[in-house]
Amino acid sequence: MRNRRDFLRTMGAALTTCAVPTLSWAEVGGPVLLSAARDGDGQFALYGLDAGMETTFRIALPGRGHAAAAHPTLAHAVAFARRPGTFALVLDCGTGVVRHRLESPEGRHFYGHGAFLEDGAVLVTTENSIEDGEGRLGFWDAGDGYRRMGDVASGGIGPHEVVRLPGTQILAVANGGIRTHPDRGREKLNLDTMRPNLSYVDGGEIVAQAEMPTELRQASLRHLSARTDGTVAAALQWQGAPERVVPLLAIHIRGEALQFRSADDAAQRSMEGYAGSVAWSGDGSRVAITSPRGGVAHIYGGDADPEILHRADICGVAPFGKGFAFTDGLGGALTPKGARRHPVAWDNHLVPIG
């Protein structure tokens, strides 16, 4: 897409070919959360979880999943391969049918996340331009068989998660700053020069950015959660000297500088420099980050020290009621209503529907 006018014209065309209605989420058991998992027999699948943390569907995946994008109304989910993946599957969660297989354009790979715009008419994917390392956002027409419409700059290197700010068509993008290449697997190629940032994209243009301060430039922004008022929380992953203890949660309001939250040194060190997921609570009063490496979740509210939840291999977190739901790699699913255990290993992310 060459400019804002081209972007808006293309988006307008997508809205005129909106998807033919199919089953709603309520019609497939009313799941409220999605998560990828590895079954006990080693097979991979995408699951729906209802408000009681019971599974409502299981759809087999060809390999390990990472995150999913839930259509806001239709019972469709886009399941992304773990980075650096080159495909994503559009799944009909009512029938289990793979409706479409999305392939990243030549010279690109996906980063494992995506989001819907325009009430589900457009899917956005985070991508790497392999030759020059530039981050891109790809746009797909959901009403026209997920036809590729084009792409725009993400505002940095290594765009990982993208989320839509509630009540708007503005995208927040976590540009993690780490350059990779599929031929080198998950090797990090530019740790000495990385410059992560949080970018905001509206109408195909970057309208705001917040860069990490120099002393934290090796703290990679990876995962995001947006509160209803547009405040963004970001989970960080430290790529610098392992003996350093650094904040792993950033909070941002557009137009202001990034703000950081941290526990005391001992509690912070227990996260081992790695926050795997982040979410605002259902009522927006608290924010949680998880560390599967440390087996802890830190839950921040107000200016107090965080509440600390100890749970082995905890990583998935999502808003649930006024609080949170968590999942772990041992099959646990935890909400304020209690805990369940399933015969699976939940993957890193717990995706809310709606």
Q: What is the pLDDT of residue 131?
A: 87
Nearest Cα neighbor of 236 from 165, 158, 289 is 289
Q: What is the pLDDT of residue 254?
A: 95
Are 276 and 321 a contacting pair, CB within 8 Å? no
What is the mean predicted confidence (pLDDT) over 16-20? 49
The neighbour count for residue 177, using CB atoms within 10 Å, is 28
pLDDT band for position 187 (50/70/90)? confident
Q: What is the DSSP letter of 143?
A: G
Residue 304, pLDDT score: 85
Q: From the centroid of its chain, how far is CA 4? A: 25
| Bridge partners (DSSP) listed for residue 61 | 44
pLDDT at 19 over 50: no
Q: Quick count: other Cβ atoms within 10 Å of Cβ 317?
A: 30
Decide if 220 contacts 196 (C-beta within 8 A). Answer: yes
Give the separation between CA 181 and CA 291, rounded to whole angstroms: 26
Would residue 340 be called left, alpha or beta, if left means φ above 0 and alpha means ψ between -120 and 50 degrees?
Answer: beta
Q: Say what the pLDDT of residue 7 is.
A: 62
Q: What would the mean pLDDT of 192-206 be, rounded to a whole number?
A: 95
Q: Which residues of 88-119 are buried (b: 16+ CB within 10 A; e: fewer)?
A: bbbbbbbeeeeebebebeeebbbbbbbbbbbe
Q: Answer whether residue 8 shows pLDDT above 70.
A: no
Q: What is each CA distance from 334 to 32, 40, 81, 83, 235, in whole angstroms?
A: 14, 20, 25, 27, 20
Mean pLDDT of the chain: 92
Q: pTM for this one?
A: 0.93
User: Shortest CA distance to 300 belongs to which of 312, 288, 284?
Assistant: 288
Domains of the chain: 4-352 (2.130.10.10)
Q: What is the pLDDT of residues 232-267, one digit of tens each?
A: 999 999 999 999 999 999 999 999 999 999 999 999
With a pLDDT cut of 70, the percent of the chain lying above it is 93
Kindly state the percentage of the chain with pLDDT values over 90. 81
pLDDT in tens, 258-294: 999 999 999 999 999 999 999 999 999 999 999 999 9
Helix H or strand E encompassing 288? strand 286-291
